[in-house]
Amino acid sequence: MCGIAGWVAFDADLTRRQADVDAMTATMGCRGPDEGGTWVRRHTALGHRRLAIIDLPGGRQPMTVDTPGGAVALVYSGETYNFAELREELRGRGHRFRTSSDTEVVLRGYLEWGEDVAARLNGMFAFAVWDERADRLVLVRDRLGVKPLYYHPTPDGVLFGSEPKAILANPLARPVVDADGLRELFGFAMRPGWALWQGMHEVRPGTVVTVDRTGSRTSTYWTLRAVEHTDDQDTTVARVRDLMTDIVHRQLVADVPRCVLLSGGLDSSAVTGLAAAHLSERLRTFSVDFVGREETFEADENWDSPDAPYIRDVAALVGSDHRFVTLDPGALTDPALRRTVITARDMPVGFGETDTSLYLLFQAIKAESTVALSGESADEVFGGYRWFHDPAAVHAETFPWLAYRSPMSGDRAAPLHPALRAELDLPTYVADEYATAVASVEHLPGSTAVDRRMRTIGHLHLTRFVRMLLDRKDRVSMAVGLEVRVPFCDHRLVEYVYNTPWALKTFDGREKSLLRAATAHVLPESVLGRRKSPYPSTQDPGYAMALQQQAKAVLADSAHPVHDILDQDWLTSIVDQDVSRPSDARRGIDRVLDLYHWFDLYRPALDL
């Protein structure tokens, strides 16, 4: 796992801009704490920061190959899990390897197949190739969007990076945010290709962006397709079991310490069980908790039970070396921690302790492991969220995560000034995005109304919702130099389960029936019977009180530029409300605090 950055300028001499290239690359230092390098030619510059995972001495980047037509250079972030098979195939085609890294496999794969190499890779990746033979830049991103990649066209080329901060470090990119950027930030439609910053774009998952002297072009090498599912229930369960076993085994390959993130839910417990059964050494597992949460837990509409008892059951069954990372809620309110997370994400998401606790968890894990496997994305693949099973949310003419009453819903734009809310017109924006998203779903002839609707909802989650969670996971983990792998994003599993009829996905009358049946052999009974539970949140009243005091400080800082976009009446009314438990008011305060610190950190110019 690494961070990449680069610049192509067909009308400039970049050998004179080394300082700017170094500045862009330096912003990726957290993603690649082990080493870094740049490769600069007249019209192109590539930068790389490395987190060494495989072939520690041999995987240095930028990596180049000289050909009779010119050099081909690569900067690469991620992991290719089928690199061993591809290396043997390439050797059979005459390629000779200098290293045992997956990076060289990708580079030699490009030499052999060009852009088509992307479709041959199984993994999570984002990479850039400068092909001197054609004076062309090629940007490639994995199918599900596990690894981030952004680009910013310029008058004579392009800037790119793993994160927006790499692009913003170049003087050609200005930190400007317009109304379109704010619409998605607060609308939560998860628009593909969106980047908050004006002029910047996300390389869409499953696509290739090429840039040469004639301009840029985007091509798609992977998309979710509707295919008839012909397997019966037993065969389907067996196929899911086989896929999950192979995926977890592949994703355990590393030359550094590994672990699994264990929450006590079905998804992470399944990964834990499969990993423990495969490894010859004792598996290490980690989870997050809050001081006193288990003893003082109170169930509500989102959380039925604390995680700790289920975690202990899984750890005891598989014999893992488990560590609870127990957080003091007071630490979560530290403004410096909030600013660190905002910097990691480059935007004011407003997720509060959900993000800050995740950062502290990853920070603790990094002290003992470099690679972690996660249960992220199983809910999108298998239909696990509660709104998949709520008739009102299923049939609502909008995104289900907005229709269902949850931490994701509510009026995210409530803190904004009424005039700005009117200009953004979020209901129209969300409705337009929903119509566009639904129109892109391919259906099979003769599908029932139920299967058509559930395929649509699955598509919305796999092409939109999951990308937000994957970006959160990547940015927060890489901010501490921890690689988090996501077995449930293997495209083979995604394609197979996506095309499984809804009746099979829920054959036992519950959520994620297929996953539960496929991994029952490695799970304790308690987890098999547990209902879906979201990521934990603190219920400590001291946390809420600290948030309110910080919100009052924002209100008192009347000269701060954040007040140009905030509704003062709303903020005045909210600071004294009861926010002891997660609520719209508490989430609103988190958004205000994020905006306040984001203005200080990035000094954005608003083009409204």
| Residues marked as catalytic | 2
Distance, CA of 369 to CA of 488 (rounded, Å): 21
Helix (H, G, I), strand (E, B) or coil at 406: coil
- One-letter amino acid of 484: V
319 is written with which tokens? 């014999």
Distance, CA of 105 to CA of 127 (rounded, Å): 13
- Edge-to-edge strands of the sheet including 215-220? 63-67, 70-80, 123-131, 136-141, 207-212, 215-220
Distance, CA of 537 to CA of 352 (rounded, Å): 10
Query: In the Cβ-directed half-sphere of 321, how many Cα atoms lie within 13 Å?
Result: 10
Say how many residues make up the chain.
Answer: 608
Q: Based on C-alpha coordinates, what's the Rg of the chain? A: 24
CA 361 to centroid of chain Cα atoms: 16
> Where does residue 606 rank: exposed (0-12), middle (13-18), buried (19+ CB within 10 A)?
middle
H/E run at residue 606: strand 605-607
Query: Where does 213-345 show beta strands of DSSP type E?
Result: 215-220, 258-261, 284-290, 321-327
8 A C-beta contact, residue 29 and residue 5: no
Of 281, 208, 484, 515, give the one whose Cα is nearest residue 382.
Answer: 515
Distance, CA of 329 to CA of 334 (rounded, Å): 10
- One-letter amino acid of 135: D
H/E run at residue 108: helix 102-113
Residue 483's φ and ψ, nearest 5 degrees, are -90, 120
Distance, CA of 63 to CA of 77 (rounded, Å): 12
CB crowding 521-545: b at 16 or more within 10 Å, else e:
ebbbebbeebebbbbbbbbbeebbe
DSSP per-residue letters across 139-151: EEE-SS--S--EE
- One-letter amino acid of 13: D
Distance, CA of 220 to CA of 287 (rounded, Å): 37
